[in-house]
Amino acid sequence: MTARRLRAAVTLFPPALVAAALAGASASAVAGAAAPARGVTAPWPQLAPLSQRFELGASQVLAVPLKVAQGHVAYQLVCRAQDMAAVRCDLLDATKKGGRSLLMHAGLRDRGLFHARDLEGACGAYPQFGRQRSFRLRGFELSLALFDEPGGTAGHPRLALQLDVQPDALATAPEAEAPEVPDPLSPGHSCQAPPPVADPFSCRKPEVEVTKPGCTQ
């Protein structure tokens, strides 16, 4: 801008008005820089840690609210005990109606569904597809484990569900990540011991050097 045009601008607009305009422009620039880019997902609400065991009766529906630190319900874990020792657990977003379980991963069988065969022998001990399963997503890790309770019968055992929820800053997927061990029912695999994995889910590191708490190296 030439000196003549600058003097004209100062003459036409009072100094206070010019200062206010400049301040507004500066604030807009800062706000624009701070705004997230289009398509970037905001951080997930952080869940409060939870560790609790529940008894699953025949045909019982168990609904457990998962809350954030501020107290409101973010997700609902719904588990149903069915015949022949089958248990189905679904994780639902409490802020939405309907929708499929967040425990499902595209292209894989639903690991929220425990069949009788998944609870016995080598299949029961198989990591991530047997009695104990972990799901990493949305800033937390959810673990489910089924245990036999006294008083059951063959084919119709009494079961208890151990539920654990822990924050996990490295779990950023919108649905449960795929486990690092193969599905024992997929072609070419079985319930025999899978290839050794130091700690399924836990020892991967992102590009920045961050170690997951409790990671076994």
Read off the pLDDT of each residue in 31-50 and give the average, rounded to a whole number: 59
* Sign, Cα dihedral of 207, 212, 216, 217: positive
- Check whether 107 has a pLDDT greater than 70: yes
Of residues 151 and 18, more confidence is placed in 151
pLDDT at 34: 33
- For the chain, the residue count is 217
pLDDT band at 149 (very low <50, low <70, confident <90, very high): confident
Instruction: Express each pLDDT in 46-98 by its tens digit.
Output: 999 999 999 987 777 899 999 998 889 999 999 998 765 589 999 999 988 87
pLDDT at 211: 45
Contact 65, 73 (CB under 8 A): yes
- Check whether 15 has a pLDDT greater than 60: no
- Check whether 7 has a pLDDT greater than 60: no
Nearest to 178 by CA among 129, 139, 131, 120: 129
Q: Which residues contact 199 (CB under 8 A, 6 or more apart)?
A: 215, 216
Highest mean pLDDT among 12-26, 124-138, 153-167: 124-138
Of 80-89, 153-162, 163-172, give the lowest mean pLDDT range: 153-162
pLDDT band at 104 (very low <50, low <70, confident <90, very high): very high
Q: What angle do CA 133, 140, 207 make, to 5 degrees?
A: 105
Contact 54, 161 (CB under 8 A): yes
Read off the pLDDT of each residue in 179-201 and give the average, rounded to a whole number: 80
180-186 long-range CB contacts below 8 Å, 24 or more apart? 181/126, 181/127, 181/128, 181/129, 183/108, 183/109, 183/129, 184/123, 184/126, 184/129, 185/109, 185/129
